[in-house]
Amino acid sequence: MSAPTPKRHQASGSFSGGFSWAMARDLRLAWRHPDEAVLTVAFFALVASLFPLGIGAEPQLLARIGPGVIWVGALLAAFLALPGLFAADYADGSLEQMTLSPHPALGWAAGKVAAHWIVSGLPLTLLSPLIGLQYGLAPDTLGVQALSLLIGTPVLSLLGGACAALALGARGGGMLLALLALPLFVPVLIFGAGAAEAQATGLSAAPHLSLLGAALIAALVGLPVAVGAAVRIAVD
């Protein structure tokens, strides 16, 4: 019999350990399969292009509806990317291992949502000025639009992440997730689209952006805990 090998390492958990683990792993997986991120962005561009075709391409009308259409498009694209956030980890047992990790749930939950935002929300934000140009939005409106998406899409990812984790293993899959997540997205949509619209009509976008910022802070404080708790319920 071989002599027992001394075990040198002691397991220890930390917020940053869990966060960086989830970020590094999910970004590497996304990098191996960039098609998912590309599809999200393509969907966004497609939806936004459908409106001028359906409503008519009158420039004034387009400039008027532009901010709202772009926000709705981004919201739907972010929503469609949600099921992928936890489904694979749920199916292959990774969620069990995460729940049993010495790292606090807060860390890896936040890390996973952050990685998800980088491959879904961030590309949408970066693409939005281009779509805005198609709608003939003024340059300052484009800036406010992108800023509102930059603040708003992380809130969508956090809210959606909690809902996606809650709906794991449930009957009714995508429709159920829509029923859970979309009503919670409503305030973000109102303030987000409101910001660019206010800017376009010559009012100040600041109140909308501040409210959006407040929502982001509240979401950052409260929702990673909720995501962790939802995952714990899902693997039970």
Partner 1 sequence: MTSRHRSGAPDVLQVRDLACRRGPALLFSGIDFEVAGGELLCVRGPNGCGKTTLLRCVTGLTRPDEGTILWRGEPAQTDPERMRSGTAYAGHLPSLKDDLSAEENLEFALRLRGVATTAEERREALAAVGLEKRRRIPARRLSAGQRRRIGLARLALDPADLWVLDEPLTALDDAGQELFVDLLDRHLAGGGLALAATHHRLAPASGVVRELRLA
Partner 2 sequence: MNWFYFSSPTTFYGLAGRLAPWFFILAAALAVWGLYLGLLVAPTDAQQGEVYRVIFIHVPTAWMSMFLYFIMACYCGLTLVFNTRLSAMMARAIAPTGAMMTFIALWTGAFWGRPTWGTYWVWDARLTSELVLLFLYFGYMALANAFEDPRRGDRAAALLALIGVVNLPIIYFSVQWWNTLHQGSSVSFKGTSMHVTMLTGMLVMSASAWMYAIGASLVRVRSVILERERRAQWVRNLPEAA
Closest CA to 224 of 146, 168, 159: 159
From the list 6-14, 40-48, 119-127, 181-189, the region that binds partner 1 by CB under 8 A is 6-14
Name which of 11 and 53 has its Cβ closer to partner 1. Answer: 11
- Of these, 36, 58, 92, 140, which contacts partner 1 (CB under 8 A)? 92
- Of these, 74, 78, 82, 103, which contacts partner 1 (CB under 8 A)? 103
DSSP classification of residue 5 = P
The verdict on 149 binding partner 2 (CB under 8 A) reads no
User: What CA–CA distance (Å, rounded) separates 173 from 189?
Assistant: 23
Query: Mapping DSSP to helix (H, G, I), strand (E, B) and coil, where does residue 231 land?
Result: helix
User: What CA–CA distance (Å, rounded) separates 81 from 90?
Assistant: 16
From the list 49-57, 67-75, 90-98, 197-205, the region that binds partner 1 by CB under 8 A is 90-98
Shortest separation between residue 215's beta carbon and partner 2, angstroms: 9
The verdict on 8 binding partner 2 (CB under 8 A) reads no
The verdict on 169 binding partner 2 (CB under 8 A) reads yes
Angle among Cα 212, 148, 168 to the nearest 5 degrees reads 70
Burial class (CB in 10 A: 0-12, 13-18, 19+), 229: middle
User: What CA–CA distance (Å, rounded) separates 157 from 115?
Assistant: 10
Shortest separation between residue 30's beta carbon and partner 1, angstroms: 10
**Residue linked to tokens 């639009």:** 145
Site string for partner 2, 79-108 (x = CB under 8 A): ------------------------------
Which residues contact partner 2 by CB under 8 A?
A: 159, 162-163, 166-167, 169-172, 176, 179-180, 182-184, 186-187, 190, 218, 223, 226, 229-230, 233-234, 236
